[in-house]
Each structure stands twice: as C-alpha cells, then as structure tokens.
Structure 1
Amino acid sequence: MKLRRVCADGRLELQILESDGSWSTTQDRSALGGVVFDAEWELATARRHVDVSGNVLPFQPASFRDFMLYERHAVDAARGLVRRFHPGQSRAATAVEKLTRKPFPMFKPKALFYRQPIYYMSNHLSFVPSGTPVTIPSYSAALDFELEIGFVLKSPLFNATPHQALEAIGAFVVVNDFSARDVQRTEMASGLGPQKSKHFASSMSVLAVTADEILPQIDDLSGSVTINGGTVATVFSRGMQWSLGDILAHASRDEMLYPGELFATGTLPGGSGMETGRWLRPGDRLTLAIDQIGEISHSISSVQEPS
C-alpha cells in the first residue's frame, strides 16, 4: 500500500492509493508510527515544505539513524574520495590494486563494520521532501548525494530479536543523505563523527510504501541516479552486510526504540557522487529513485548572495 500526505483545506491529510489509481483519505497512521508530533506544528512544517517544494513528507521522523550496510559502497567511496582530494595517493593505490587484484587495504571499512552494524545519528528535523531546491552550503565545495532505503517503525522495540525487529517496520521510503564531503573529512578525523557535513539537509520521497510490499523483496530492489536527465548509476539492494532485522535488534539493545523513528541502510553501491565521480554542481537536476518505492528530485544551486 502506498501512502502520502497532502495539505488540503487548511489541514494535513494522510491518503492511500486505491487500486483504481485514485487517492482516498485515511485516519490510520499506524504504518508511519502514529501520532508523534503536535498537530499544529506538523501542519506548519508541512505548509512550509509545500511553499518551497509543492510537496509534503509522508511522515515527520522522530529521529534518524543512518547505517552503513554495504562493503562495496565503503570501498568504492573511499577510492573516490582519495581520487578527488589526494590524486597522487590515488595513483599509488591504483597501482597496488592492479598488482594485488584486491581493494587497497585502507579503502576497506574498519574492523567494527564486520563485527556489528554501525551507524550515526543525524538531524531528523532537517528533512525536506522531494522537489525542494537545495543550496550548496557556503562552507563546502564538494556537495554529494547518497541514495538509500529508509524505513520507519510502527511499534516500539527493546532488546528485540531480528524477527521481532522486522515485525516492527511499518513502511519504506527513499532517503537521500546530502553530504559535504570536504567538511566531512575533517569532522570524521575529530573522532566525534559528522556534524555540519551532514546535518544541514536530508530528503525523503513523497511516497511511503508499507512493509508488507517491500520486505519480501528487500534484497531485490533496484534504482537509479539521474543528473540532468542522464543516468549516472544503476543501483541494487543486494549485498547487505547485516539484515534489517539484525540492525534494528542491535539498535534496540538496552535502548528503547519508538514508533516514528527513521532508519536507513546507508548508500546503495554506486549511489553517491564519490563512487561515480559525478559531484553536484550549481544548475544540476538530481533524481534518485528506488523503482519499487518512489523517487526524490532536487534542483541544485550555489550560495545566494545576501541582497
């Protein structure tokens, strides 16, 4: 079942897609975590989003945990980051990889990646819907995108088993984790993780699709990255280091997880500019799609000078 929200007649309305292609109003918000925020605040936020994008988020996330589930993405992204910022070291690493026919050791994830699911928490209040124009942060010269699969809890979890965790997933969305890569490099070196490199904006598809439609095919999803009408990458969901049940069970270990909290898989292999070498520039039109869920689209602009 597909879900969306719209602003209509001065109120925020949840709708479901009927079999005949029409949209009808529903009061059942359980798949999206139920009622989390004050209704007036949600309506004001939705109106602000409509003003700039014409769209509304399918739900307002109560939090955002972003995992890194793909070894291939980690390796290819590290390779691309070195290519962009350290070309001399990139040439040396490429030579080593040609000789050994293996990824350069420093491109592989840290050992903890193979022992447990890893994630960081970002700013859940900076999410914007598809269609929102995005301005490159004034402090960055390396804006990147990240095409990810997101999912929201419909029920709480605490010390859950992987099976219990899967049962708590309510719906899926497409997530884009915007990243200022030049800033991220120095922030990660601090030992505290990403800050201004990530928190300025994330985005979500207008549509959410209930878990019963997506979970049976979670390892067979496909998608694409398109910039200015040309396909930059084709992506697939297969190859996760940990299952969705595993990562939610890990996150719930001695910690309560609540309905409405948003999680993401991390970038699907090929789903970032670091991997493809196609970084975002002013004037670009970016579209990120997961075929079975929906898409996100943004126009990219440079920093606006104050009038």
Structure 2
Amino acid sequence: MLLRRVLTDDAIVLQACDDDGAWVAAPERAAALGGPVFDRGWELALAQRHQREAGQLLPFQPVSFRDFMLYERHAVDAARGLVRRFHPRQARVAGAIEALTRRPFPLFKPKPLFYRQPIYYMSNHLSFVPSGAPVAVPSYSSALDFELELGFVLSAPLYDATPEQALAAIGAFVVVNDFSARDVQRAEMVSGLGPQKSKHFASSMSVLAVTAEEILPQIERLYGSVAINGATVATVSSAGMQWSLGEVLAHASRSERLYPGELFATGTLPGGSGMETGRWLRPGDQLSLTIDQIGEISHRITSAQEPT
C-alpha cells in the first residue's frame, strides 16, 4: 500500500492507495489505512517550499529524526575509507596489519556500546528536501558524501514499549539519504558531542512512503543500489542488522514519549556511502539512491555558490 502527501487549503494529509489502486482523499480514511495525518501550519509552509524546489513534496514532514547505526560492516568499511581519504599513511599501516591478521584493524571496529544497545544521533528534521531537489555542497566542506538508508515513521505513540509493541507502531517506510560532510564530521565526533554541521545541512527521502505491512515481512531481504551519473557504484542489502527495528524503537522509547510522525533510519546499508566505495560527490554529479519495493531518491549536486 502506498501513501502520498496532498496539500489542502489549511492542512497536509496523506492519501492512501486502496486495494483497487484508487487514491483515497479523506484524512480519516487515510488514517484507517495506516497513514499518519498531520495538520500544522509550519509543515504547510515547508511543503510549499519543497514544491517550489523540486516540483514535488516529501511524503510527510518528519516531526523529529533519529538516525541509528545498525550495521557493523558499514561501520568498519566506512572507518577504513575515512582513513584512506584523510590519512593515507595510516591507511597503509592499517592495511598491512589487516593483511597479516585477516581481521579488521581494531580501531575500525565500532565502540563497545554498539554491541550493548542500539546507538543513534538526533539530526535536523527540518532540513529534509524531496527527491529531485538540487543539493549544494556546503560552503565549509570539500568532502560531500551520501548515505543510503532505510527510513521508518511512527503511526502510533510509544512509551516504554516492548519490541513487539514498537514494531506494530511503524506506519510506513521510505528511502532516506543522510548527506554528510566527512571532513567536518570527524572533528565534531571527536568533540564528544556528535555530528553537527557535518549532518544538519540536508537530508532527503523518497517521494512515496510504503506501508509497513508491505515491507516488514521482508525487512532483512531488501536490496538497493547507488548510481552516480548513470553508472552503478554500489549495491546494498538490508540483511545483517545488529538490532531489530522493534528493539531499536523500544530502546528509544525507554522513559521517553515517541509520537506519530517521528522518523527513524537504520543508518547506512553496507556499501551505501562514498566513504566505503571511494566515490565522493562533486558538483555536477547526478546521484540516484534506490531500495527496491520502496522507492528512489535523486539529486543534482551543485557547487556552494551555484543557486538552487
């Protein structure tokens, strides 16, 4: 079942596609079919801005955005790629040690907390742009990266939920792209406060949301790809999460209220970033991120000075 966003005079609602393929306009019917309904003036203004930018809307405006890191393989390969890009001498030493031990270099492994509980950071939910909008390289960065992720939005509130209750509260799935300024990110992470300007300038998602009932039965069997200028540079899979989606949402809800419309993401699917593939974004690139059965995100990358 698909959901799409619709503008009215004073609200934004989600239309749901019924079994006959017809779009159902009534907000109460959309809610009955599993689609969250939002009615906020500031969301209307954001949606209108997005429509001007890309000619289309986000499937919903997130009311918050938490991004998890659920894949050990991504963490290891991304750390290796980061060192390769910014510290080539150390990369050669680490590579030699890996060749001898046939194991990941110890500093490339996630920190111990990764194995004890789901970890995440809070990003800027107001900087989401829709697929099709041009995205500029931040003026302070020369290492713009993409991250292909699986996003999921709540359609029901949670508080101290069990994993089973948390899983049942997922309303829909989208493709998420977590843009990252990697040359800024490392210093921010070392500060102890987590990513800031390296992440908050832009994120994006696919045009349509697909209801949870369509995706959850195959959550570990989703496949996708990354293409730059029409050439495939990576293929990805959703298999291998350190924690289930029910577990990560249950953890987020511990002594904390979660609300409908809050967006979460799995973190980068292994292989789904330039840090892993070595293919970094440059002005003029056309980026395409796809997860089969959910959707696609595409953007033209512009220079910091080029108007969008």
Q: Which band: TM-score by shorter chain?
A: over 0.9
1:85 matched to 2:98: no
1:270 matched to 2:280: no
**Structure 2 partner of 1:299:** 300
Secondary structure, counterpart of 1:186 in structure 2: helix
| Structure 1 unaligned regions, length at least 5 | none
TM-score by length of 2: 0.94
**Structure 2 partner of 1:113:** 114
CA 1:11–1:67 in 2, change beyond 3 Å: closer, same or farther? closer
In the aligned structure 1, how far is the partner of 2:12 from the partner of 2:163?
Answer: 34
Q: What is the Cα-based RMSD across aligned positions, in Å?
A: 1.7
In the aligned structure 2, how far is the partner of 1:157 from the partner of 1:6?
Answer: 26
Amino acid at match of 1:233: A
**Structure 2 partner of 1:149:** 150
Secondary structure, counterpart of 1:187 in structure 2: helix
In the aligned structure 2, how far is the partner of 1:23 from the partner of 1:141?
Answer: 43
In the aligned structure 1, how far is the partner of 2:8 from the partner of 2:287?
Answer: 28
Amino acid at match of 1:117: P
**Structure 2 partner of 1:243:** 244
8 A Cα contact 1:16 1:26, kept in partner: no
**Structure 2 partner of 1:104:** 105
Amino acid at match of 2:249: L
Amino acid at match of 1:119: Y
In the aligned structure 2, how far is the partner of 1:33 from the partner of 1:135?
Answer: 31
**Structure 1 partner of 2:37:** 34
8 A Cα contact 2:50 2:130, kept in partner: yes
8 A Cα contact 1:70 1:241, kept in partner: yes
Amino acid at match of 1:173: V
Secondary structure, counterpart of 1:259 in structure 2: coil
Secondary structure, counterpart of 1:219 in structure 2: coil
C-alpha displacement of 1:33: 3.3
8 A Cα contact 2:74 2:270, kept in partner: yes
CA 1:9–1:164 in 2, change beyond 3 Å: closer, same or farther? closer
**Mean Cα displacement is larger for which, 202-211 or 21-30?**
21-30
Secondary structure, counterpart of 1:66 in structure 2: strand
In the aligned structure 1, how far is the partner of 2:266 from the partner of 2:86?
Answer: 26
8 A Cα contact 1:6 1:55, kept in partner: no
TM-score by length of 1: 0.95
8 A Cα contact 1:32 1:260, kept in partner: no
In the aligned structure 2, how far is the partner of 1:49 from the partner of 1:177?
Answer: 17
Which deviations, in whole Å up to 9, do the C-alpha atoms of 1:61-81 show, x marking residues without a partner?
A: 110000000000000000000
In the aligned structure 2, how far is the partner of 1:55 from the partner of 1:123?
Answer: 20
In the aligned structure 1, how far is the partner of 2:284 from the partner of 2:9?
Answer: 34
8 A Cα contact 1:136 1:303, kept in partner: yes
Amino acid at match of 2:37: G
**Structure 2 partner of 1:214:** 215
In the aligned structure 2, how far is the partner of 1:61 from the partner of 1:305?
Answer: 28
In the aligned structure 2, how far is the partner of 1:45 from the partner of 1:142?
Answer: 28
**Structure 2 partner of 1:259:** 260
**Structure 1 partner of 2:234:** 233
Amino acid at match of 1:5: R
Amino acid at match of 1:208: A
C-alpha displacement of 1:303: 1.1
In the aligned structure 2, how far is the partner of 1:91 from the partner of 1:71?
Answer: 22
**Structure 2 partner of 1:179:** 180
In the aligned structure 1, how far is the partner of 2:126 from the partner of 2:10?
Answer: 22
1:61 matched to 2:62: yes
Which deviations, in whole Å up to 9, do the C-alpha atoms of 1:148-193 show, x marking residues without a partner?
A: 0000111111111100100111110110000000000110010000
In the aligned structure 2, how far is the partner of 1:166 from the partner of 1:181?
Answer: 32
In the aligned structure 2, how far is the partner of 1:174 from the partner of 1:224?
Answer: 11
In the aligned structure 2, how far is the partner of 1:186 from the partner of 1:32?
Answer: 40
Secondary structure, counterpart of 2:304 in structure 1: coil
**Structure 2 partner of 1:4:** 4
**Identity value in percent:** 75
Secondary structure, counterpart of 1:258 in structure 2: coil
Which deviations, in whole Å up to 9, do the C-alpha atoms of 1:243-288 show, x marking residues without a partner?
A: 0011011111111111111100000000000000000000000011
